[in-house]
Chains A and B, each alone.
Chain A
């Protein structure tokens, strides 16, 4: 088994600034609100940079 590096909040905020992430329901694509973006960033902190 191998261990991967994980994402930090700062790295995520740099890679995915507010106003650049969408969510999609069926064929409708909607820009995340700032609140949704913050929640998304929080959820991604600690995820692996390469899937394990």
Chain B
């Protein structure tokens, strides 16, 4: 049945599958004083592409936060690039290195926010991602916004990922994972 639907239409499973867009896969509420959060069942064979929304309510001090796919700690290329509110540019980039940054979390109860799209994490193929982030700080000219992107150069099929913040702990907030419906 063609979209948009009209009053009185009888919808089939095929209709609903075709018109569902982002589908919630899982969500995690960030606990208290945690250095890392692992989301276990984030990726599966139903979806090729995912959106991950990370909203860290507060962190104990300022720090970049990083993405780890499964247990992989090497072969990452990428990172984040940003601009502080003062206009100063900065970057944190890995070239065949450890877990790359995907945002920054501010101390003083500010936290951080990232929206990441990730491609083929569950396929036995290279995994890529890109996204935007905001570092919620006002004082000292630390606050910033920017983009992130990268790949992990292997053929591992992942089901999980971990977010960890540098030299700080996180308290509160959420991580949501949505799958892009293939139709």
Contacts and interface: CB of A to CB of B under 8 A. Distances in A.
Interface of A: 1-2, 7, 12, 15-16, 20-27, 29, 32, 40, 44, 47-52
Contacts, number: 77
Interface in B133-183: 135, 142, 144, 166-167, 169
Contacts of A22: 31-35, 169
A35 to B, nearest CB: 14
A36 to B, nearest CB: 9
Contacts of A16: 60, 169
A1 B90 contact: yes
Nearest to A46: B167
Interface residues of B, number: 33
A22 B64 CA distance: 18
A26 B105 CA distance: 20
B21 interface: no
Interface majority SS on B: helix, strand, loop or mixed? strand
Given A1-B91, A21-B35, A22-B34, A27 B62 contact: no
A24 to B, nearest CB: 4
Interface of B: 28-41, 60-64, 88-92, 101, 104-105, 135, 142, 144, 166-167, 169
A51 B144 CA distance: 10
Contact of A51 (B39, B41, B60, B63): B63
Given A44-B166, A50-B142, A24 B88 contact: no
A2 B166 CA distance: 18
A28 to B, nearest CB: 9
15 contacts: A1-B90, A2-B88, A7-B167, A22-B35, A22-B169, A23-B34, A27-B28, A27-B31, A47-B167, A48-B63, A49-B62, A49-B167, A50-B62, A51-B135, A52-B92
